[in-house]
Amino acid sequence: MRLHKVYHRFSLFSLTSPPFLPHPSSTLFSSYSPSFLSSKRCRISSSTPPSTLNPFLQTMSTSRLHNLVPLAAIATEDAAGPNGSTATPEDDELNSGYRLPPAEIRDIVDAPPLPALSFSPQRDKILFLKRRSLPPLSELAKPEDKLAGVRIDGKSNTRSRMSFYTGIGIHDLRDDGTLGPEKLIHGFPDGSKLNFVTWSTDGRHLAFSIRQDQEEEDDVGSKLRVWVADVETGKAKPLFQSPDVFLNAIFDNYVWVNDSTLLVCTIPASRGKPPKKPLVPSGPKIQSNEQKTVVQVRTFQDLLKDEYDEDLFEYYATSQLLLVSLDGSVKLFGEPALYTSLDPSPDQKYILLTSLHRPFSFTVPCGRFPKRIDLWSAADGKFLRTLCDLPVAEDIPIAFNSVRKGMRSLNWRADKPSTLYWVETQDGGDAKVEVSPRDIVYTQAAEGEDHPSIFHKLDLRYGGISWCDDSLALIYESWYKTRRVRTWLVSPGKSSNENPPAPRLLFDRSSEDVYSDPGSPMLRRTPDGTYVIAKFKKEDKQATYLLLNGNGATPEGNIPFLDLFDIDTGEKERIWHSDKEKYYESVVALMSDQKEGELQVNELKVLTSKESKTENTQYYIQRWPERKACQITRFPHPYPQLASLQKEMVRYERKDGVQLTATLYLPPGYDPTRDGPLPCLVWSYPGEFKNKEAAGQVRGSPNEFAGIGPTSPLLWLARRFAVLSGPTIPIIGEGKEEANDRYVEQLVASAEAAVEEVIRRGVAHPGKIAIGGHSYGAFMTANLLAHAPHLFSCGIARSGAYNRTLTPFGFQNEDRTLWEATDTYIKMSPFMSADKIKKPILLIHGEEDNNSGTLTMQSDRFFNALKGHGALSRLVVLPNFVFPTPVKKKKVLMKPKQLLPLVVVRLKTLELILFITIQDHHFDLSGLGRS
């Protein structure tokens, strides 16, 4: 049987793990325990996590799980263990392949995926970008090159492991809020994989890439070609007449320059074969610091190692730019280079080209390589001038808010035809240097000005600008150490007057104080396709208003709102808020911005979402003044078997008085009086705060839909477990105190409070509570088993880092080095307390983990430490696997550079699925005894 038949799409139910847990009501439960392993120019990239919306996808009638076969059927050679030791008979028994999850889990994760959505620039059409299920193991096992912090699929000349779409459907959005019949984009080959779907600025065309993964000796079939489709007819055709023009998608790929022309990064036609690795090294690998430069960097992965890596990275990343029209005419644009960004000006006259160049670095990833930004004419492809050429940035201090020296955040003003702006640090990029101002923002016309103008000076670190017009822009600055964030209101067009209006401080608050968050200004689309702050007028009043869209954090949970904000007086009027009793509603996008000029409040139209604990997210168009909401989607419940699950936001107190919250989930139909306490899984992730009040604020809503992703701990509800999700674990460092100096003490106190709460409620069995987490949550898990063994029966630590001496130049939110805070690094490292861990622990790690700091070696060494002390433990390393980064369900808010009215407004699913069990008759994690 062939390996490609093993589908990663549903599970990697590893036979390195024992059989799945029986039902809690089973008489066998005493031997078992809970477990979990749990734009540019209107671009919609398939790498963006997809929305959960799609009433149009046909439900799959059969599961693909029958394609999963045991890997034991594949012949393998004996191999040495992690330390070169020979595998033991016990290891041979464990390393026998993959298993399926039980039916109740499989039914949840084996659901057809739902598409991503995007509205057209004119808001009159909606794209449904259709997806397939998760990839087979054979696809994950494809060779990849790890170069300069980037993982590359050499056959397709793209980033490796890219997700993709299988089709595009278009629906008209009618005036009454209903959707018209689906029209499919057609004309491309069956089985094509689609990526980088983009709207033209006028909304008449779509561009997208296609690959077919055909097995050809020269790999031509795997490379990407660019296609375009007419939105009205749905007919698609290749953009290039020649079949030998391929997309280079390592960095940026293509961008609409105007309604009928694209600038495309292509593989140079004369590139040839990739460089071959020399059989004999040309010499030793030498790095030196003879200048005694202080270079402190965090633990990056996949860095360049030698000259061959440098050549290979340059080979794959080099593009030839082509300017191509929809009629097929093609023009060379510049010379081949390592282009990373293509940015047309709003008036379509100029293009900013950002590129990397040698000398490369073996110490930092490519984002810190030498970088040049050039200004070009869009019409004739003429080079105009170099705006900056920055050297390699190996010496950025590790202190938070430290930045690269020189020009940064160079971009076009969204409200002007072709005006540039950027920021330059005044502290040498070192956040530890005290200086005023710390950052200066400059502006300059693309041509005609010899010197830039100072736009604004900032004493904190620059955090971005929202442009509106000559009378209004908002500038943001922040400082991590104090958590201070400030918003300034400035008048961009009046800076040259003799007495220009002074910048006005609009908001000055702590980023941790979510109750004081005023919200963000809603943006509108301009005719040039950029996004600027929307200004409103109200009835007969002369005042000018902004529309602030906020999460509305309160002690009762989030209650999203829209506020009319008078920019002159600062007065606010709440014109909309979520139904706080049953539903969670939020504003996703402004839909009434087609006409030019100031908008009227009584003509306001917005897209909102609405959900409840048991009702899937639906989307509505709301219009003023009648405030009538038209529902435009009707999506079914994704897992009806859990439709009646019980969800409650619980509040409790830590022994030092800090208020804590968590979300408690209970299985459908569960009654604590009738059914008694359940086995319980606690899944969490610590956070750092500067004060107790902020740490105790409530975040999230009790009315949000319980989205269950394929690695979610909520899957255990189907096995009749209680799940305490996201109990707050605040690590507080007030004043000059660093939070991590009392990390263990506060970690244990938070965990004790959570466990006491679920036991007090009678929903959790005191002897059957498991602790688990991912990444920093895995670090938390190991520490709790070492320092609070009385709380938990077992633990699941996924993709963690356990020895902080292996991340000596900072980790997470710690910016002191090992040598500055040696005692803290040692005390925080569960590796140093491996002899204290007596409860069973399952370590899980993806073999190809590329997250900074969490090298797979961390789990390998921690397991050896545990094994050296006789701990009941198991390490599962998953071949070819990278754990997806968990994301909270959220909406994607538009930013000034984003030209998408809506892109993937809900993130509820992750790309890969993994179920690892923790117990069998050999390995019992219940803490209740071994059979």
> Quick one: which H or E segment has residue 759?
helix 743-760
pLDDT band at 89 (very low <50, low <70, confident <90, very high): low
The confidence score (pLDDT) of residue 694 equals 93
Mean pLDDT of 681-688: 96
Least confident of 198-207, 253-262, 741-750, 899-908: 899-908
Each residue of 579-611: pLDDT tens digit? 989 999 999 999 987 777 789 999 999 999 999
User: Would you state the pLDDT for residue 62?
Assistant: 30
Average pLDDT over residues 387-400: 94
d(CA 607, CA 617) in angstroms, rounded, equals: 13
Contact 842, 871 (CB under 8 A): no
CA distance 845 to 862: 12
- In which band, very low, low, confident or very high, does the pLDDT at 762 lie, cut at 50, 70 and 90? very high
DSSP per-residue string spanning 332-374: EEEEEEEEEEEEE-TTSSEEEEEEE-SS--SSS-GGGS-EEEE
Q: Give 532's pLDDT tier (boundaries 50, 70, 90).
A: very high
Q: Which residues contact 870 (CB under 8 A, 6 or more apart)?
A: none
More confident residue, 578 or 141: 578
Mean of the per-residue pLDDT values of the chain? 83
Q: Dihedral angle at the C-alpha atoms of 138, 139, 145, 150, nearest 10 degrees? A: -140
Structure tokens belonging to residue 68: 């999963």
Q: Which residues contact 908 (CB under 8 A, 6 or more apart)?
A: 51, 52, 707, 708, 709, 889
Give the pLDDT confidence of 265-310 residue by residue, as tens digits: 999 999 999 999 998 888 888 888 888 888 888 889 899 999 999 9
Q: Which residues contact 168 (CB under 8 A, 6 or more apart)?
A: 127, 128, 129, 130, 184, 185, 194, 197, 206, 208, 229
**Residue-level pLDDT at 262:** 97
Q: Would you state the pLDDT for residue 40?
A: 41
Residue 309 has a pLDDT of: 96
* Mean pLDDT, residues 732-737 taken together: 90
pLDDT reported for residue 592: 87
pLDDT at 520 over 50: yes
- For the stretch 17-26, pLDDT in tens is 332 233 333 3
**CA angle at residue 774 from 129 to 613, to 5 degrees?**
60
Grade residue 879 by pLDDT with cuts at 50, 70 and 90. Answer: confident
Q: What is the pLDDT of residue 928?
A: 28
Q: Please tell me which residue, 326 or 163, carries the higher pLDDT value.
A: 326
Task: Note the pLDDT of residue 88.
Answer: 52
The whole-number pLDDT of residue 271 equals: 95
Query: Could you tell me the pTM of the whole model?
Result: 0.84
Write the pLDDT tens digit of every residue in 455-479.
999 999 999 999 999 999 999 999 9
Task: Name the one residue in this structure whose structure tokens are 């047309």.
Answer: 344
Name the band, by pLDDT with cuts 50, 70 and 90, for residue 482: very high
493 or 643, which is more confident?
A: 643
In the predicted model, what is the mean pLDDT of residues 718-747?
94
**pLDDT value at position 304?**
96
pLDDT at residue 501, rounded to an integer? 81
Vertex 383, ends 339 and 405: CA angle to 5°? Answer: 55
Contacts (Cβ under 8 Å, ≥6 apart) of 488: 456, 474, 475, 476, 477, 503, 504, 505, 506
pLDDT in tens, 202-221: 999 999 999 987 665 566 66
Residue 436: Cβ within 10 Å count: 9
Tell me which residue has tokens 């620039």: 121
C-beta contacts of 187-192 below 8 A and 24+ residues apart: 187/229, 187/235, 187/236, 187/237, 188/227, 188/236, 192/166
**For 801-822, how does the pLDDT look when each residue is reduced to its tens digit (9 = 90+)?**
999 999 999 999 898 999 999 9
User: Phi and psi at residue 347, in whole multiples of 5°?
Assistant: -85, 5
Angle at which helix 743-760 crosses helix 776-787, to 10 degrees, equals 80
Mean pLDDT of 146-173: 93
Q: Are strands 841-846 and 794-798 parallel, antiparallel or unpaired?
A: parallel
Residue 498: the pLDDT is 55
* pLDDT given for residue 66 in this prediction: 29
- In angstroms, the CA 25 to CA 597 distance is 66
| C-alpha distance across the termini of the chain, in Å | 35
Confidence band for 888, pLDDT divided at 50, 70 and 90 = very low
Bigger pLDDT: 448 vs 204: 204
Q: Is 104 helix (H, G, I), strand (E, B) or coil?
A: helix
Is residue 920 pLDDT above 50, yes or no?
Answer: no
Q: Is pLDDT of 759 > 50? A: yes
What pLDDT is stored for residue 499 in this prediction? 66
Instruction: Please state, for a pLDDT cut of 70, what percent of the chain lies above it.
Output: 83
Work out the average pLDDT over 108-128: 86
Contact criterion met (CB below 8 Å) for 380 and 349: no
Distances (CA, A) of 82 to 98, 445, 851, 929: 20, 59, 20, 29
Identify the H or E element spanning 746.
helix 743-760
